[in-house]
Amino acid sequence: MSKSEIKNPAERGARSQKSEIQRKPRFTTSSDIELPPVYKPEDVPIDYVEDLGAPGEFPYTRGVQPTMYRGRFWTMRQYAGYASAAESNRRYRFLLDQGQTGLSVAFDLPTQIGYDADDPMAEGEVGKVGVSISSIHDMATLFDQIPLDKVSTSMTINAPASVLLAMYIAVGKQQGVEPKQLRGTIQNDILKEYIARGTYIFPPGPAMRLITDIFKYCAAEIPRWNTISISGYHIREAGSTAVQEVAFTLADAIAYVQAAISAGLDVDEFAGQISFFFNAHNNFLEEVAKFRAARRLWARLMRDRFKAKNPQSMKLRFHTQTGGSTLTAQQPENNVVRVTLQALAAVLGGTQSLHTNSRDEALWLPTEESVQIALRTQQIIANESGVADTIDPLAGSYVIEQLTNEIEHRARQYIDRIDQLGGALRAIESGFIQGEIADAAYAYQRAVERGEQIVVGVNQFQTKAQPQLARLKVDTSIEQEQRAKLAELRSQRDNSRVSELRTRLESAARSSDNLMPHIVACVEDEVTLGEICNTLRSVFGEYQPSVGI
């Protein structure tokens, strides 16, 4: 029978439904959690006291604050940085003028792996994917006319996090801001660099030592600073599922907490300064549940495994960024819709701060117009949608509660497996975590290629039109300008003092001294990022990943 011969509308609807079921026989989330047509109360086993609780109370399923967004909105923190410190400073001041409430710094690749802009290893990469920072003078320019006692700053920096934090402290002092007044976060998460991102410098042992030194130093000197932002974002960008994102992020967090305890810190002395960084992808209901499950699982791990007593130690506070890997170069205007859905999932999941990606990021660095649209997306959700008017508005939804249960259960199974392997570092060294992510990424790509996973504008609903968006270009003269500035710095500073400080830093690295005071002293006397990192390289060496086929 042809389509035109179907006279009965009900028959046509049934035939259409059958075709749809044949196209997608199983309705599942990214983590392969199968969804029934409808959930019933008996499908959702839940203890309303232990599993849900009240907002701001253990196990924090419903949020870490009792008032959540009725008290104040999440921090709107747009990630930005490119070219020189002066160029990035102009972008930051533009964003603050548009209503952004926190800064988030992107560093270029040489900075991320501890090279100055004039190092041969930096050639061709200066200022390309973030701002170039080689000295305290660059950092001072980056925050020119931005009062550090009034803003919260997040810095996406890992291997040389201690150096960039020291520069931030030093610039604060130049502004008359005491360290105890500084608020913000350094990412400082080296384990996910070995797993998914690759901007490591030192082997795991010395890298973990630097992290615990930062924990100790900040607990005493910068109590309002988040000493680490343990990142599931890059794990998800590498291709993991939502369950894997939660499991591997918390497994890394367990390793950091255990390392700090082994270094002599009491869990309640530092755990309140730990924060997290998650991704928000397209499967709306799974993403909302993922954030709730992560919060609950972390609270239970801190209470039961590490015997934390302070409620602040059990609260999983997190920043969210919408999914960069979900953005498409085809029909880039569609990315505004994707980002809106992802941002809404993060808000309904209870995020503490949020970055919304720009529509053109699959093509190039975002323009001011695109960044403004991304920020306005958050502001519309906050002020016009009504979702911030009540706390945890999706609580009690059968599907949300069951997905929360299932994600927590499956993530805990992964953590148990990683424990059996000897912990996160051993699981990384064996390739277990990387292999699980690679398998998930391959499965997703195959689903896209077979048409089982529709990506609008890519494998369905294509057009031949080319994007007509404006493009931001980084001036290639930036590299030469940075080289000239460094040459001038080295000719005018007290180089005997620089040599003395580098010798002290090297001796401290060979001892068990906390390295942070030495690094702060170095940057204050104009020792550069690359010089500090090279001094540490001379003691610690560089990490060389194992190669397998």
The DSSP result for 337-355, as a single string, is: HHHHHHHHHHHHTT-SEEE
What would the pLDDT profile of 420-438 be if each residue is shown by its tens digit? Answer: 999 999 999 999 999 999 9
Report how far Cα 205 is from the mean position of its chain's Cα atoms. Answer: 23
What would the pLDDT profile of 220-272 be if each residue is shown by its tens digit? Answer: 999 999 999 999 999 999 999 999 999 999 999 999 999 999 999 999 999 99
Please give the pLDDT value at position 20: 44
Residue owning tokens 């959930």: 39
Contact in structure between 130 and 157 (CB atoms under 8 Å): no
- Give CA–CA dist 216/177, Å, rounded: 21
What would the pLDDT profile of 191-224 be if each residue is shown by its tens digit? Answer: 999 999 999 999 999 999 999 999 999 999 999 9
- Confidence category of residue 517, pLDDT binned at 50, 70, 90: very high
Helix 516-524 to helix 161-174 angle (10° resolution) is 50
Query: What number of CA atoms fall less than 13 Å from residue 266's CA on the CB side?
Result: 5
Please give the pLDDT value at position 474: 79
From the CA atom positions of the chain, what is the Rg in Å? 24
Report how far Cα 260 is from the mean position of its chain's Cα atoms. Answer: 21
Residue owning tokens 């109360």: 41
pLDDT for 12 beyond 60: no
All domains of the chain in start order, with CATH: 103-186+488-549 (no CATH), 197-356+394-462 (3.20.20.240)
Burial of 284 per CB tally in 10 Å (0-12, 13-18, 19+): middle
Return mean pLDDT, the chain.
93
Contact in structure between 23 and 15 (CB atoms under 8 Å): no
pLDDT for 17 beyond 80: no
pTM for this prediction = 0.92
- Confidence category of residue 2, pLDDT binned at 50, 70, 90: very low
Report how far Cα 417 is from the mean position of its chain's Cα atoms. Answer: 24
- Give CA–CA dist 281/528, Å, rounded: 38
Report how far Cα 93 is from the mean position of its chain's Cα atoms. Answer: 22
What would the pLDDT profile of 377-398 be if each residue is shown by its tens digit? Answer: 999 999 999 999 999 999 999 9
- In angstroms, how far is the first alpha carbon of the chain from the final one? 53
Please give the pLDDT value at position 25: 58
3-state secondary structure of 250: helix
Give the single-character DSSP code of 364. Answer: S
Contact in structure between 58 and 299 (CB atoms under 8 Å): yes
Neighbours of 516 (CB within 10 A): 24
Please give the pLDDT value at position 465: 87
What would the pLDDT profile of 522-545 be if each residue is shown by its tens digit? Answer: 999 999 999 999 999 999 999 998
Strands (E), 221-283: 225-226, 228-231, 274-280
What would the pLDDT profile of 464-511 be if each residue is shown by its tens digit? Answer: 888 888 888 878 899 999 999 999 999 999 999 999 999 999 999 999
Cis peptide before 332 (omega within 30 of 0): no
- Give CA–CA dist 353/261, Å, rounded: 28
| Amino acid occupying residue 153 | T
Bridge partners, 493 (sequence order): none
Please give the pLDDT value at position 42: 86
What would the pLDDT profile of 154-169 be if each residue is shown by its tens digit? Answer: 999 999 999 999 999 9
Please give the pLDDT value at position 223: 95
Please give the pLDDT value at position 467: 84
- Give CA–CA dist 278/296, Å, rounded: 15
